[in-house]
Structure 1
Amino acid sequence: MSHLSNEQLATLKKSLLERKRELEQHFSQNGEENSLLGDSLRNSTGELSSADNHPADTGTETFERSRDLAINRSLSEELSDIEAALQRMKDGTYGICVVSSQEIPYERLEAVPYTAYAVEHVPPRESFSDRPVEEEVMTAPPAGAGRNRQEHSGRFDDAGAWDSVEDYGSASSPVTPPGQDADKKDI
């Protein structure tokens, strides 16, 4: 016996089916394999040669391609999770945590309808331990770094720009050169 009412199950199923349709439409519009993202960079960009491109152009293409691949991987995983949730609905196990067998609250299912976990049993996200080698030689900023240090550095920065230039006037105020009083008139 499910802790969810028939109305709640219908609402959640509608939400799952709607999202599934959106994801399937995304993949069908972009091709099942999302065009040529799996192929080489040259094939996916349509360029015959990268020799005439600036290295920054190639860097941008590489970044955008890796971003698109990551997005597609994430959406594909979401689609799999949705299909699994719909199967759990058919099996009668939807809304039950796969780890603890406790009921998943409706509010959580409403927020993440494809979840198979109660909040306390959600598996940890991937943690990337391969940090950039530069981090090994980086040092912490000196003590006092930040706003207090900038105020007393004697350097000009954006934060105090208006305070420094407002003495010179603006386009909407009369301009008096520094060192001259507006009250004195040279005759």
Structure 2
Amino acid sequence: MSHLTDSQLAKLKAALEQHKQEIEQHFKDNGEENSLIGDSLKMSTGELSSVDNHPADSGTETFERSRDLGINIALNDELAEIDAALQRMEDGTYGVCIVSKQNIPYERLEAIPHTAYAVEYSPERSNSGERPVEEQVMTPPPAGAGQGRQEQSGRFDDAGAWDSVEDYGSASSPVTPPGQDTGEGDS
């Protein structure tokens, strides 16, 4: 911690405590970590039955619950990181990378006060430069894919769809299909 001045350390501690308070307020406002997330859908929505609801309503509720759970998990993780940073301040090890033991620059600490890593050793950067494993099994797109693909394939695109379909008529104006001429005297 020797590379941080007392005023820098005080500013960082205030930022950590402020952010911790905001996260704790989130949990307080939303009912202690959204305790109803683990309950049944019927309990969390307050509905007596889901029979009268449209299936999309249940899908929306499921999505909302999973989103809320994801937010809570991320905030819990961040709260644990903030607590760990405050503990490192107490121990006198705050501002030192836990992997390389190098000083973490003040600018990085100012941007992410709860970080315990120098940029080079950050877990989020561990896969930098590597391509996703999925790309090893992906097949290349067909020739001509991209701009102008539909023109080369002989198919029509949305812009030309009506022009091709109107030859067959519409509900308001019946049209004889191409190639089927009706002769006036064919009875």
Shift of 1:115: 0.5
For residue 26 of structure 2, what is the aligned residue in structure 1?
26
Identical residues among aligned pairs (%) = 67
How far did residue 156 of structure 1 move?
A: 4.3
Shift of 1:54: 1.7
Tell me which residue corresponds to 1:75: 75
Moved over 3 A (4+): 124-127, 138-141, 150-154
Q: Report the Cα offset of residue 35 of structure 1.
A: 3.9
Aligned to 1:155: 156
Secondary structure of the structure 2 residue equivalent to 1:36: helix
SS of residue paired to 1:97: coil
Structure 1 residue 148: Cα displacement = 2.1
Equivalent in the alignment of 2:142: 142
> 1:99 maps to what in 2?
99
Alignment partners' CA distance in 2, 1:66 and 1:154 = 41
Q: Given that residues 104 and 118 in structure 1 are in contact (C-alpha distance below 8 angstroms), is that contact kept between their aligned partners in structure 2? A: yes
Provide the C-alpha distance between the structure 1 equivalents of 2:62 and 2:125, rounded to a whole number of angstroms.
Answer: 25
Tell me the residue number matched to 2:185: none
Tell me which amino acid in the other structure corresponds to 1:104. I
Contact 2:33 2:72 in 1 (8 A): no
Deviation string, structure 1 residues 27-49 (Cα, Å, up to 9, x no partner): 11111131411212221111221
RMSD: 2.9
| 1:12 partner SS | helix
Residue 52 of structure 1, CA deviation: 1.6
Superimposed CA distance per residue, residues 121-163 of structure 1 (whole angstroms, 9 cap, x where no aligned partner) = 2224899x9x9xxxx9x965422122121455563446x9xxx
**What is the alpha-carbon distance in structure 1 between the residues aligned to residue 125 and residue 105 of structure 2?**
22
Q: TM-score normalised to the size of structure 2? A: 0.71
CA contact (8 A) 1:95 1:104 kept: yes
Instruction: List runs of 5+ in structure 2 lacking aligned partners.
Output: 164-187
Question: Cα distance 1:126–1:35, how it changes in 2: closer, same or farther (>3 A)?
Answer: farther
Unaligned ranges ≥5, structure 1: 165-187
- Paired letter, 2:38: G
Whole-Å Cα distance in 2 between the matches of residues 111 and 150 of structure 1? 47
Deviation at 1:95?
0.3
